[in-house]
Structure 1
């Protein structure tokens, strides 16, 4: 295993934790501890090659594979039957890209490969975005659905995700940064 693979594995594991922590991926009321962890492990193992293909495409400067396509692919029956939502999938894909972006940050050419990546959507970023839009003279109404409850086949969920990314892009343009960098800009304010 080379350093690129190890870097991806680290990024993926950290992103999976982010995507499935606390209330974002709840345990079923009658679910035993072992069953819960088995369910999470199944999702993690099933999703890993899909996310890896996306990161590999980014690193090869292949803009054919867009985040939305990868997120939808993660929302296949194998995962959604396990309770993995569109919200969990977008967080996994976008956080993996964010961590990989950090590994390339010092290299201007590699950094540019992440220009089309989405900003991870979570409760903190949704609130920060709403607050910050006023500073950028953008009018953003409150989000109606928590990020972890976004569903692939729900039009309202998809519109919420698209709205989030639209406003992230507007701020990124004004700041002359990539959308994925907006997360760093707002983090821990």
Structure 2
């Protein structure tokens, strides 16, 4: 990983910590404290992170750093398949790093990992995003959380043509999309892949782009920027 004293390292640290808070906020993960996940001293208890906690935190953070470096260097990943394969490997490394942290039924799931990775990419994109940088982020995913699921549901209302593609044409289709909380998803196949494909259908639809006020087709990550925060929702 880059030296923490370089500007690249400091910007990544800032983005990663914000993303970790997003990935574990409220009851999304209760297996341990965010300070243990970050390998930092807990200001409330005045306790330093243990050696093991620091090691686990470093493993997860380095995995996400390498994923982000794949975006930042040259023109990013060569195609969607390469990106998605590395994304899934990164998620697995993060999950493995935190597998010992459990609290009853709470473990660091794929849902937590995808939000950590995707939100880190989102915050990094904010740091230097311009039109000439779009290509680097073109394969990044749309972070999945409760707000984005509801935004997607709103955009799907009245769009039987898109819903039918995903078997969502019948009554109760909204409940299908809300069925599994994002933080409880254990595998990409449990709703996450479908969510990204629905985003693909929406972001490529001219009428949806008009509603979003987008002047051109958008990537999955740009879709998140366009849709999230369009009202007063949080979290």
TM more than 0.5: yes
- Which protein is richer in helix relative to its size? 1
Q: Which residue of 2 aligns with 1:50?
A: 63
RMSD: 2.0
Q: Which residue of 1 aligns with 2:180?
A: 145
Q: Which residue of 2 aligns with 1:110?
A: 133
Deviation of residue 150 (structure 1)? 0.7
SS of the counterpart of 1:158? coil
Q: Which residue of 1 aligns with 2:11?
A: 7
- Measured against aligned partners, the alpha-carbon deviations of 1:128-149 in whole angstroms (never above 9, x if no partner) come to 1111122555214332110000
Give TM-score scaled by structure 1 length.
0.83
Choose which of 189, 197, 220 in structure 2 pairs with 1:158: 189
Number of positions where the alignment pairs a residue of Structure 1 with one of Structure 2: 176
Equivalences for 1:118-129 in 2 at 5 Å? 118-129=141-152
Contact 1:16 / 1:44 at 8 angstroms: preserved in 2?
no
Equivalences for 1:86-97 in 2 at 5 Å? 86-97=110-121
- Measured against aligned partners, the alpha-carbon deviations of 1:9-31 in whole angstroms (never above 9, x if no partner) come to 1111110110011110125xxxx
Contact 1:123 / 1:147 at 8 angstroms: preserved in 2?
yes
Segments of structure 2 that go 5 or more residues without pairing to the other structure are: 40-52, 102-106, 210-216
Rg bigger for which structure?
A: 2
Deviation of residue 110 (structure 1)? 1.9
